[in-house]
Chains A and B, each alone.
Chain A
Amino acid sequence: MTKKIGDQAGKMFEYFGSFLRKGIFSVLSVGPVPDHIAFIMDGNRRYAKKRNLLDGAGHRCGYLALMNMLKYCYELGVKYVTIYAFSIDNFRRRPEEVQSTMQLILEKIEDLIKEESMVNQYGVRIYFLGSLKLLSKPVRLAAERAMVATSGNSKSVLSICLAYTSSDEILHAVQECCEEKWDEGSALESKGAGNGLVFLKGNKNGKTKPSIVVKDLEKHMYAAVTPDPDIIIRTSGETRLSNFLLWQSANCLLYAPAILWPEIGLWHLVWAVLDFQRNFSYLKEKTKLS
């Protein structure tokens, strides 16, 4: 009986919270709402230390904070959310810690694609961005399953950067462009057109015409599935991007609240959006110029 009353109270509190959020988001929506927000979820381990929690518990608390932030973003009308889940640099951590993090990632990917999960509730399509071949087979297969399972969703997008760094992404794009140009040249050669050889050896003046342009590179970036972010939020007060979306963040507001990731809440998101709205015309002008 007590449990039933508790459940009902919990539901009422949730409805009230949802109602309050709708009101806040209605006010925010008077101004420009960011289309794409990216998160660097920094501070899970420090949170666990601060609260004297067991190893790995900080990341679990971080996951709960992530679910809340995704809910707030999609309710606000932010269509694209990108998160920095695991960097290639993180493989240098202690093996036990890497193993524990990978186990958590695997568990949470499986949770995400369940029928009743938030992902299906908000019609979220999931992408995994990064050098997935660096992941263990179970995690890689789970990621691929999640992408297939959500491929029919079209309301919002969640991009999870796993085994990702910007420098690896740029290298990958350069490699793909070179392969593409090679294949084009080889195809022309086989048809006898000879244009590929002309490209490789130079034209009549001995100068090599540039064949790869910025648009070709952008087509092959891991993050080509989404537009460039409007805001990158990094928690813990750290001021660097740590090799995250460097190519895509040219005209993006960088916001660095001092709280640890598991402590992030609605008001931090509201504050970030207000900061974005305050700088919107300046950022828009810079985007046009570039």
Chain B
Amino acid sequence: MEMKHRSFLNGLPGVEIWVFVHFGSFCILPSPYGISKVLELLQWVADIGVKSVCLYDPEGVLKKNKEPIMQRFSSANLSEEAAVNGRLVTRRNLTLEFVSFEDGKEAVAKAANYLFVKHYANGTKEKSDFTEPQMAEALGAIGSGGADPDLLLIYGPTRCHLGFPAWRLRYTEIVHMGPLKSMSYGSLVKAIFKYTMVHQNYETTDALVAVPSCGQKFETSFHPPPFGIKENYHVIHLHFHLFTLFGEFNLMKNGS
């Protein structure tokens, strides 16, 4: 079963999914129990084939206690992309990032100061308005940059993002997974699978877009129906997704 799920994402060429695992209630769990659950979850996520994981807890407990996590993923190296405050760690194909509440609003305030010094420091005021790329650059310069996550999994008692950096949450799918102590591999796989079926409506309409490149989502004209419903075009559409997601799954099943 694990072998099949490891190839879960290999059928999607060029797709790199970032999963932000957000622990709303991490701080209330006894530390050793909490860390072992985090390690187990990261192992599942790595087995599925996710490339990058960000761990968020508002109080920054994980950030302060990241050594057990780094020890477990023992070939971890601090990459050149590591932020100023050492948040980013790369281990083979898994990039780990540790984020806390101070990387949210406080970081935007620091970025505002950075922009002020950069654009007003010469004693003359620049006329043009700030742009989103400038803001992203400022956040990167102060060590709080990074890509927007595709998927935010909330392990906690309620569906609430608890101050996750606002700038990075714009189009992120936010899924509530329940308490950390009752996490399951099946629900993790299901959440990632459901994410791949998402489409966004704000662009133009009804073209079925082919397999996405890195960082993009599937865009479709229909919501795929639940299994068992047979409408002609929906069935064809669903089979398309099944083929790309479980292509290797079927091959392995036939070959085994």
Distance A45 CA – B175 CA, assembled complex (angstroms): 24
Which residues of chain A have C-beta atoms less than 8 A from B24's C-beta?
Answer: 286
Determine the main DSSP class of B at the interface with A. Answer: loop
Which residues of chain B have C-beta atoms less than 8 A from A252's C-beta?
Answer: 160
Distance A290 CA – B201 CA, assembled complex (angstroms): 34
Evaluate contact between B132 and A171: CB separation under 8 angstroms: yes
Pairs A-B, 5 closest by C-beta atoms: A246-B166, A250-B163, A279-B158, A89-B202, A174-B112
Any chain B CB within 8 A of the CB of A66?
no
Evaluate contact between B204 and A94: CB separation under 8 angstroms: yes
Any chain A CB within 8 A of the CB of B170?
yes
Flag the segment in A112-120, A135-143, A235-243 that touches B.
A235-243
Residues A239 and B158 in contact in the complex (CB < 8 Å), given A178-B112, A212-B112: no
Distance A182 CA – B28 CA, assembled complex (angstroms): 44
Which residues of chain B have C-beta atoms less than 8 A from A255's C-beta?
Answer: 159
Closest residue of chain B to A90 (Cβ to Cβ) is: B202
Interface residues on B, range: 35 or more
Any chain B CB within 8 A of the CB of A13?
no
Which residues of chain A have C-beta atoms less than 8 A from B110's C-beta?
Answer: 210
Distance A165 CA – B167 CA, assembled complex (angstroms): 11
Which residues of chain A have C-beta atoms less than 8 A from B119's C-beta?
Answer: 178
Any chain A CB within 8 A of the CB of B81?
no
Which residues of chain A have C-beta atoms less than 8 A from B205's C-beta?
Answer: 94
Chain A positions within 8 Å of B, measured between CB atoms, are: 42, 45, 87, 89-90, 92-94, 165-167, 170-171, 174-175, 177-179, 181-182, 197, 200-201, 208, 210-214, 216-217, 238-243, 246-247, 249-256, 279, 282-283, 286, 289-290
Which residues of chain B have C-beta atoms less than 8 A from A249's C-beta?
Answer: 161
Evaluate contact between B113 and A212: CB separation under 8 angstroms: yes
Which residues of chain B have C-beta atoms less than 8 A from A246's C-beta?
Answer: 166-167, 169-170
Any chain A CB within 8 A of the CB of B40?
no
A163 to chain B, nearest CB (A): 13
Distance A90 CA – B170 CA, assembled complex (angstroms): 14
Chain B positions within 8 Å of A, measured between CB atoms, are: 24, 58-59, 101, 104-106, 108-113, 115-117, 119-121, 123, 125, 129-132, 135, 157-164, 166-167, 169-176, 198, 200-205
Evaluate contact between A250 and B161: CB separation under 8 angstroms: yes
Which residues of chain B have C-beta atoms less than 8 A from A200's C-beta?
Answer: 117, 120-121, 123
Closest residue of chain B to A42 (Cβ to Cβ) is: B201
Which residues of chain A have C-beta atoms less than 8 A from B112's C-beta?
Answer: 174, 177-178, 212, 217
Evaluate contact between A286 and B159: CB separation under 8 angstroms: no
Evaluate contact between A286 and B174: CB separation under 8 angstroms: no
Distance A286 CA – B160 CA, assembled complex (angstroms): 10
A258 to chain B, nearest CB (A): 10
Evaluate contact between A214 and B105: CB separation under 8 angstroms: yes
Which residues of chain B have C-beta atoms less than 8 A from A254's C-beta?
Answer: 159-161, 174, 176
